Structure 1
């Protein structure tokens, strides 16, 4: 078993990497489960064994995890089920699924009875490495990614790597995309390890997967401990996301989040170079890991004006200005940077061209 502590100003909790069967939550009797339907079908026996550990009231809510369902409509259904089954403030809401499931269920937990306990069991590599950690919950709204939400920490996060064994290759690549982000936010040895072990990670080598998860979670925990509500340094975790979210939204989520983040990071690197913050040699060094994703990300075409429109509504903007996270070296990143529309479009165009056949 591996344990990593996250100590924020509002709550302390642990991220546990272990089999679900080994984990106990004896302080809770009543449990409401929000479960990704697909995950349940693939891992029914494991999930049912875990559910049996709870001695009180137990209700399962099966969720179809799509970006469309990351919505008020779905949150309303979860809240209605909680209310109809008379769950009180002493209940535990448990999410079993990927980032969409965890974000949606976590948001419901944060507003039901002004907040009930929340346990996140991420079943995708992306959620385990990033979205399940740090207390962000939320839903999409009017086509905008994660525009409605709350900061609400879980009681714990439990990562059982057995869930990863049934992930399709696209989901593995999405997870590695988000993991790669962390390798630019710390010393370059992490980035070098990802380049060296890329094919082993794609193949879900368990030892290496656990190693990189520990590194990502430790980096995020350190950042969140210093800036829980994203007033400053936590913004570095948005590397690639201003571009990535806008591309995702413009394509109506036909491109998966982790893949969009990879393209978004490439665009951020090109923008940093175009604005004179990094030389060509550093740009090429940054892009080395990105190019490992080329066989796994299909070429895309975007409407640049539509992308810019979505960027203009990004929740990270300030004073009606689009803000970018731009790296200048490994472990050294600038936040709240601005750029002209021309420079932004040029950077994104170059990033998209990287993934053309």
Structure 2
């Protein structure tokens, strides 16, 4: 089992990467969790992994109660969080208890926000089962829900007590979900490390064949890269903004499409858009844009906008939490492995990019 530590001011937590759930209970105890565990999962993940997780935890001496939420981004709401509060109160969970999120990024965001706010905070455990969550959302402490069609506008930073990654859970993902998660994996290569980008390019087929060693390496590298940023900028005051590469456009597409497209699909289009903006600004050449688009296509991801009102996408960007004083913040590439922050209020530039997608 691989172990990484995320070292924050006043709080360090481990990430465990393995290919089974066998040591989940042991890892909770090592994190100082001894009370009751509320296992929060969704209607998709429940039928694959809940039974095994509960058995492992109970065999380690934990009392476990399960709460199942409806799967999907459209259920990432305050109403869903309220349902978790009611479940926790009904089952008399107290401050010695822990909330464990078993599922993808949506489940982690919702359960994390509930853990952050129930009794002003109880211990929280991430058990991510999707590639997107294992590569990105389970690390870093972002929790929250969507509100009135706007993504993640209500939430908090709330770090987990531990993250437990079983890469074999990826075998139960629909192919579309697996591809969606690859967008965040590719994102990290573009932002930080050209060698990692090339490794992904060489090993796409191995990933789709569920090569355990490749999956563990990719999970470890993603967690290392994101952890490095989170350690330096826990609450996104500067450096951590680079992790939003592809997300300024991506989040706006998600909202404009009323969450019919998956997060990674929208981020993929957003990354293509960021390269096209960088081309217009003479930061990269067309060859670099083709290089990223070819890898995204190889992963089965879109690089073109569907039939959606570009003006609506632009307006959603203006309403995004990353906008400041009417200016949009884009993370743009200078090359594969290096990005910069770019702020603009030039609507014509943004619309030109959207119209090329």
TM-score of the superposed pair, with normalisation by structure 2: 0.93
* Residue 339 of structure 1, CA deviation: 5.4
Q: For the Cα contact (< 8 Å) 1:21–1:46, is it kept in 2?
A: no
Return the match for 1:159 from 158, 165, 182: 165
* Residue 294 of structure 1, CA deviation: 4.8
Map 1:301-312 → 2, pairs under 5 A: 301-312=307-318
* Residue 122 of structure 1, CA deviation: 0.4
Larger mean CA deviation between 249-258 and 323-332 belongs to: 323-332
Aligned: 1:105 with 2:108: no
Aligned: 1:22 with 2:28: no
* Residue 57 of structure 1, CA deviation: 4.0
Per the alignment, in what secondary structure is the counterpart of residue 283 of structure 1? helix
**Once the two structures are superposed, what CA deviation does each residue of 1:265-319 show, in whole Å capped at 9, x if it has no partner?**
0000001111222233333333332232457789721111110111011101111
* Residue 90 of structure 1, CA deviation: 0.8
Larger mean CA deviation between 132-141 and 270-279 belongs to: 270-279
Structure 2, unpaired ranges of 5+ = none
Return the match for 1:252 from 233, 258, 275: 258
Map 1:276-315 → 2, pairs under 5 A: 276-294=282-300, 300-315=306-321
Paired residue for 1:266? Answer: 272
Q: For the Cα contact (< 8 Å) 1:30–1:55, is it kept in 2?
A: no
Return the match for 1:332 from 338, 346, 354: 338
* Residue 192 of structure 1, CA deviation: 1.2
* Residue 223 of structure 1, CA deviation: 0.4
CA–CA distance in structure 1, aligned partners of residues 305 and 212 of structure 2: 30
Per the alignment, in what secondary structure is the counterpart of residue 197 of structure 1? helix
Tell me how large the CA RMSD over aligned residues is.
1.8
Distance 1:179 1:258, change over 3 A: same
Map 1:154-233 → 2, pairs under 5 A: 154-233=160-239
Q: For the Cα contact (< 8 Å) 2:54–2:64, is it kept in 1?
A: no
**Equivalent residue pairs, number:** 351
Paired residue for 1:12? Answer: 12
Paired residue for 2:329? Answer: 323
* Residue 29 of structure 1, CA deviation: 2.5
Q: For the Cα contact (< 8 Å) 1:248–1:256, is it kept in 2?
A: yes
CA–CA distance in structure 2, aligned partners of residues 54 and 184 of structure 1: 41
CA–CA distance in structure 1, aligned partners of residues 69 and 148 of structure 2: 21
Runs of 4+ off more than 4 Å? 294-299
* Residue 342 of structure 1, CA deviation: 2.4
